[in-house]
Structure 1
Amino acid sequence: MELGQQAAPASDEVIGRCRRLFEPALRAAVSRLHPWSARMAAFSLGWSDVDGRPYEGNSGKSVRPAVALLSAEAAGGTAESAIPAAVAVELVHAFSLVHDDIIDHDERRRHRPALWKAYGMGPALLAGDALLALGVAQLAGDGEAMRYLSDALVELVQGQTADMAFEDRPWHGTGAVTTAEYTEMAAGKTGALLGAAAATGVVLGGAPELAPRLWEMGRELGVAFQLADDVLGIWGDPRVTGKPADSDLRRGKKTYPVLAALAAGGAPARELAALLDDAPGDEEAVRRAARLVEEAGGRDAAETLAGRHLSAALATMDACLPDTAALRAVCDSLIGRIR
């Protein structure tokens, strides 16, 4: 199957064709699980409702598997050769979302209950572990590809740990989280798995010499992706995001727009700092905090930095790969959501 032959293809079309290519293998992998775990996995992947009935809804962006398939093809291989990588990164991503929702106490995911709300905390943890184990198994036969996935898992956990540790640090003043620390966290928590997708894609696609640079490309892409999500976490449309408006501010989550706004100084930043110290909980206080973040320049700072990291990723891509049209369309779409 040729996924990248059109000039300037639409990202939805490209991802749709990638999904049709890797999803049968993903479903076959999930079918190996214990029936209870398989049922929860199917729910988390958007294939069924809580009772196990087929469900036609939002099954996620499928960006990571698309990056794996398209990286292989852009390097001169076939998309089919990278299907194990695509399945692996999608399963690991699904595992990370299950655990993230538990850690963050998020009750909604993709317009539906989070897995832990639907089935309980213990079963959700077990299902997440099953998804992780199954993802690792996809690349167990290829040592080089497995190394990149293993590195991504270590960075993902370290990034998640840093993100949790941020919660116990002050909003401003001595010990406050810096924007540089946040960006480093995002490179691990979000970027590492995209790095693994690109690197394992070219390894299985027959161009392992490109893997180190594609790993870095994916990490840059991940930072751009995380910053775009941070913008949507405050100003996104709930009908699109599946979460309440201002959801990150409601939880008191330290995200890049807020940290950049606080670091900017000036009257809006000082007012925001005072408001955050009081832990805004009511609707009006949360809306006011969002306005202050924007007035202090936090939104512009996040969108500008997302653009820079995307540009760095695209520059690496263009330097390494001979045919990038389809892959570029998918990468552009990651911050196109906030334009």
Structure 2
Amino acid sequence: MGDSLTEFRTEPTLPAPRARCGTEPRHGAGAPEGRGPIGTQRDSRPAPPEGHEAVMLLDRARTEVDPVLRAALGSLPGPMRRIARYHFGWEHADGSPAEGGAGKAIRPALVLAAAAALGGSEARAGAVRAAAAVELVHNFTLLHDDVMDRDATRRHRPTAWTVFGDEGAILAGDTLQALALRLLAQDPHPAAPAAAALLADCVVELCAGQYADTALERRGPADVTLDEVLAMAEAKTGALLGSACAIGGLYAGAGDADVAALDAFGREAGLAFQLIDDVIGIWGDPRRTGKPVGADLAARKKSLPVVAAFASGTPASAELAELYARPSEKEDLEHIAQTVERAGGRDWAQGQAADRMARAMQQLARAVPDPEAAGGLLALAEFVTRRSS
């Protein structure tokens, strides 16, 4: 253990999933040394960096979706446009152009990868507006979450509410949700009405999950169960990743069973994502996360590793309960993080994330039995659960 939170290891240690939905591992994903993915001698070219395929998919999704997002935001009234463009990192607070990032584009990339997996490049091209709609809904939730959680930093800059006030951030979030539904309402693609209904249902589930999250925060640590927190995480995080995959399937003309399997794949991957996100929220390096050291612990959040630690029944869990009952002190954060780890919270979260990824792979194999076709979705799922920021 390092001397400070910033020195804690931040890379989750999940077992390497079997790549391509049950086929032999790809290069860089557990293939035997010196051998290719099907047991043949590997050529002398260096393997691409881990996550290279996913990064390419994310970059491509951002390139394709950003023009649609910029056009949608450009249609907003002045004040809402300014706040939204600031949130996306495209403007500074004074309205001057900025080069900030608009996020990793994981959700739109999942829409496009799912469409490609079942319908090829033509289906992928037709799903760009839907992918932009999903990204707008995601950012609507971020704007609202930052206000409710009083988070002061996102994407390495002050959050919108700290710059424009609560009202401005909330209303800008509302407009992003409206823009998402307008994009689908104006989309001539035959899958657009079903996608709009699915996304609307997802927003209802997201709101229910957020309400459950805030309700859990008002309860004592001993009164919160792991099942409750897992259900809340599925609603808050898994639902939108599942919807992204399902919408991609709709735009590829997939049947109900395949759409349901894609939704289940995204939900399980989303839970793995949340588990790793909670690990990073405690032990992540703020230079990479863009958030203050130990922000989740300082806020006494009942994140998944913390609730697992409370439920362990160990001496460390009793110590953690005492620490969580005290007022937040910055100098205590490292000690609290160590106590969560000693109570087994970190190991449980990382093991649970690996289990959820295994379930996700089973669902993906149901929807996309061709391993090559499933490669993009698999690469993205591996990427989001092997990240450190």
Alpha-carbon separation, structure 1, partners of 2:159 and 2:313: 37
Following TM superposition, by how much is the alpha carbon of 1:208 offset from its aligned partner in structure 2, in angstroms? 4.1
Aligned: 1:240 with 2:288: yes
Alpha-carbon separation, structure 1, partners of 2:357 and 2:92: 35
Alpha-carbon separation, structure 2, partners of 1:68 and 1:30: 20
Alpha-carbon separation, structure 2, partners of 1:313 and 1:148: 20
Q: Corresponding residue for 1:157?
A: 207
**Which stretch of the first structure deviates more once superposed, 89-98 or 217-226?**
217-226
Alpha-carbon separation, structure 1, partners of 2:255 and 2:99: 37
**Which stretch of the first structure deviates more once superposed, 180-189 or 138-147?**
138-147
Aligned: 1:290 with 2:340: no
Following TM superposition, by how much is the alpha carbon of 1:205 offset from its aligned partner in structure 2, in angstroms? 2.1
Alpha-carbon separation, structure 1, partners of 2:138 and 2:255: 23
Q: Corresponding residue for 2:94?
A: 51
- The structure having more radius of gyration, on CA atoms, is 2
Contact 2:285–2:293 (Cα < 8 Å) also in 1: yes
Count of residues paired in the alignment: 330
Contact 1:98–1:125 (Cα < 8 Å) also in 2: yes
Q: 2:233 is matched with which residue: 174, 186, 202?
A: 186
Pair 302,338 (structure 1): closer, same or farther in 2 beyond 3 Å: farther
Q: 1:79 is matched with which residue: 124, 141, 144?
A: 124
Instruction: Give the partner amino acid of 2:246.
Output: A
Secondary structure at 2:311's aligned position in 1?
helix
Q: 2:378 is matched with which residue: 306, 328, 334?
A: 328
Considering fraction of residues, name the structure with more helix: 1
Alpha-carbon separation, structure 2, partners of 1:338 and 1:35: 36
Q: Corresponding residue for 2:110?
A: 67
After superposition, what is the alpha-carbon deviation per residue over 1:299-329, rounded to whole angstroms, capped at 9, x for unaligned?
Answer: 1111111111122112211221130112211
After superposition, what is the alpha-carbon deviation per residue over 1:258-284, rounded to whole angstroms, capped at 9, x for unaligned?
Answer: 1001111121111111111223x2222
Contact 1:231–1:338 (Cα < 8 Å) also in 2: no
Q: Corresponding residue for 1:3?
A: none
Alpha-carbon separation, structure 2, partners of 1:189 and 1:199: 16
After superposition, what is the alpha-carbon deviation per residue over 1:46-84, rounded to whole angstroms, capped at 9, x for unaligned?
Answer: 212112222222321110000000000011243111112
Contact 1:264–1:296 (Cα < 8 Å) also in 2: yes
Alpha-carbon separation, structure 2, partners of 1:127 and 1:50: 14
Alpha-carbon separation, structure 1, partners of 2:193 and 2:55: 32
Instruction: Give the partner amino acid of 1:278.
Output: R
Following TM superposition, by how much is the alpha carbon of 1:294 offset from its aligned partner in structure 2, in angstroms? 0.5
Alpha-carbon separation, structure 1, partners of 2:153 and 2:179: 24
Contact 1:262–1:273 (Cα < 8 Å) also in 2: yes
Alpha-carbon separation, structure 2, partners of 1:46 and 1:10: 25
Alpha-carbon separation, structure 1, partners of 2:239 and 2:76: 26
Contact 2:90–2:102 (Cα < 8 Å) also in 1: yes
Kindly, what percent of the aligned residue pairs are identical? 43
Secondary structure at 2:104's aligned position in 1?
coil
Alpha-carbon separation, structure 1, partners of 2:166 and 2:324: 30
* Structure 2: runs of 5+ lacking an equivalent: 1-25, 28-51
Q: 1:11 is matched with which residue: 43, 54, 68?
A: 54
Contact 1:71–1:198 (Cα < 8 Å) also in 2: yes
Pair 208,87 (structure 1): closer, same or farther in 2 beyond 3 Å: farther
Alpha-carbon separation, structure 1, partners of 2:249 and 2:69: 19
Alpha-carbon separation, structure 1, partners of 2:379 and 2:133: 22
Q: Corresponding residue for 1:269?
A: 317
Aligned: 1:121 with 2:166: yes
Which TM-score applies when normalising by structure 2? Answer: 0.82
Q: Corresponding residue for 1:169?
A: 219
**Which stretch of the first structure deviates more once superposed, 256-265 or 30-39?**
30-39
Alpha-carbon separation, structure 1, partners of 2:165 and 2:255: 42
Q: 1:199 is matched with which residue: 239, 243, 246?
A: 246
Contact 2:259–2:367 (Cα < 8 Å) also in 1: no
Q: Corresponding residue for 2:184?
A: 139
After superposition, what is the alpha-carbon deviation per residue over 1:185-220, rounded to whole angstroms, capped at 9, x for unaligned?
Answer: 011011111111111111112224321221111111
